[in-house]
């Protein structure tokens, strides 16, 4: 297996198609324009701005299968001064505003409130948009507070998250984000085989960032050699058991990170109090490490397998039956 084969697989089966990306942008723009107009006509509500966020904005999104997570993420920055609503009810408030945008063109089931976002399903296209309310406090770099359904505040910054990945991509080249997309495709296939497996895409992005910053086993992350980079990422997960904390110092002093007993500790690069894996129990960690170990064994076996057919079959355990191979 070589770099070219995995790059071709990414282009054929993983990367978002041009028309699909165009439709995502069109739907997000429709929502943005609709909310802006709706708020303008109802001045008792104060919407400051909407910012594209998440994997689509970072160009690490993968081609979505129907029934999977969101296609696009939007941060809705709102002021609390003019909102006669408790923070714990902010998601319900935003959901009502989104329903107001689409009117009678959608049904109630098309709007679902999760822990920190309003999910909007577009039945005709199958697309889904997640809109997360962010309390705007006037700080620079789009800093604000995500509000959970329980009313908890979580500091975030769309601008700094985008800058975080952009700086590494500029140094590493386009292979950096392509590697992330391939790893997300591996996780998707892993979850198909094991529905109880947990691994959010942001966690994968931060593991790759950590390995790019620090290397692994005395070697830089080989973003121009996808098979080798895959081996490095999986080996890191297996050998550390994901028990070593991952901390970044782009936007805060690493000493600001508080002590934690969470089984997996991977800290949000813009918020030293937010462990992005805080909801993972130890059995989630073990399950993910075991999956990485099994995949690493397949890669190792493929390196000495007799014939292209055997090599391709080994890599299909990572990417699924759509992987055509060499």
Q: How confident is the model at residue 16 (pLDDT cuts 50, 70, 90)?
A: confident
- How many degrees, rounded to 5, is the angle at CA 168 between CA 167 and CA 170? 65
73-95 mean pLDDT: 76
Entry pTM? 0.91
Q: Which residue has the tokens 């069109």?
A: 26
- How many degrees, rounded to 5, is the angle at CA 224 between CA 222 and CA 226? 75
130-145 mean pLDDT: 89
Residue 156 predicted with pLDDT over 80:
yes
- Of all residues in the chain, the percent with pLDDT exceeding 90 is 55
Residue 73, strand partner residues = 53, 130
Q: Is the dihedral of CA 18, 23, 26, 27 positive or negative?
A: negative
Whether the Cβ atoms of residue 259 and residue 303 lie closer than 8 Å to each other: no
Whether the Cβ atoms of residue 185 and residue 13 lie closer than 8 Å to each other: yes
Q: How confident is the model at residue 66 (pLDDT cuts 50, 70, 90)?
A: low
pLDDT at residue 82, as a whole number: 52
Catalogue all structural domains in the chain, each as residue range(s) with its CATH number.
Answer: 3-159 (3.30.460.10), 173-319 (1.10.1410.20)
Residue 44 predicted with pLDDT over 90:
no
239-245 mean pLDDT: 97
Distance of CA 170 to the CA centre of its chain: 19
Q: What is the pLDDT of residues 294-313, one digit of tens each?
A: 999 999 998 888 888 888 99
CA distance 234 to 238: 6
Q: How confident is the model at residue 241 (pLDDT cuts 50, 70, 90)?
A: very high
Gyration radius of the chain over CA positions: 21
Q: What is the pLDDT of residues 258-281, one digit of tens each?
A: 889 999 999 999 999 999 999 999
Residues 2/178/283/146 CA torsion (nearest 10 deg): 180
Q: How confident is the model at residue 92 (pLDDT cuts 50, 70, 90)?
A: confident
pLDDT at residue 302, as a whole number: 87
46-55 mean pLDDT: 84
Alpha helices, DSSP H, located in the chain? 3-9, 18-41, 54-58, 90-102, 158-172, 175-193, 201-214, 226-240, 282-302, 308-319
Whether the Cβ atoms of residue 31 and residue 52 lie closer than 8 Å to each other: no
Q: How confident is the model at residue 235 (pLDDT cuts 50, 70, 90)?
A: very high
pLDDT at residue 293, as a whole number: 97
Q: What are the tokens at 49?
A: 């701005």
Closest CA to 137 of 248, 48, 27, 255: 48
Q: What are the tokens at 216?
A: 């692994």
Whether the Cβ atoms of residue 241 and residue 285 lie closer than 8 Å to each other: yes
Residue 84 predicted with pLDDT over 60:
no
Q: What DSSP designation does 11 have?
A: I
């Amino acid at each position: 297996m070589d770099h070219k084969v995995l790059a071709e697989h990414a282009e054929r089966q993983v990367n978002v198609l041009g028309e699909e990306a165009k439709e995502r942008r069109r739907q997000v723009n429709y929502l943005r324009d609709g909310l802006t107009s709706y708020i303008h006509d109802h001045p008792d509500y104060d919407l400051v701005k909407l910012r594209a966020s998440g994997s689509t904005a970072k160009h690490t999104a993968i081609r979505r299968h129907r029934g999977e997570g969101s296609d696009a993420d939007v941060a809705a920055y709102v002021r609390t001064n003019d909102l006669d609503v408790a923070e714990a009810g902010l998601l319900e408030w935003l959901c009502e505003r989104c329903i107001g945008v689409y009117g009678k063109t959608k049904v109630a089931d098309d709007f679902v409130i999760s822990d920190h976002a309003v999910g909007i399903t577009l039945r005709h296209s199958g697309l889904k948009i997640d809109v997360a309310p962010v309390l705007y406090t006037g700080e620079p770099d789009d800093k604000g507070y995500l509000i959970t359904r329980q009313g908890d505040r979580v500091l975030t910054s769309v601008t700094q998250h985008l800058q975080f990945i952009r700086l590494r991509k500029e140094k590493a080249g386009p292979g950096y984000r392509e590697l992330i997309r391939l790893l997300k495709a591996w996780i998707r296939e892993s979850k198909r085989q094991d529905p109880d497996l947990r691994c959010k895409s942001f966690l994968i992005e931060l593991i790759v960032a950590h390995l790019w910053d620090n290397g692994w086993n005395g070697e830089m992350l080989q973003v121009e050699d996808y098979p080798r980079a895959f081996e490095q990422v999986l080996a890191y997960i297996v050998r550390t058991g994901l028990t070593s904390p991952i901390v970044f110092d782009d936007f805060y002093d690493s000493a600001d990170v508080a002590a934690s007993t969470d089984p997996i500790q991977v800290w949000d690069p813009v918020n030293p109090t937010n462990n992005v894996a805080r909801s993972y129990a130890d059995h989630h960690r073990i399950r993910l490490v075991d999956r990485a170990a099994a995949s690493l064994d397949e890669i190792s076996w493929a390196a000495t397998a007799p014939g292209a057919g055997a090599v391709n079959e080994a890599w299909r355990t990572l990417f699924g039956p759509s992987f055509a191979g060499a």
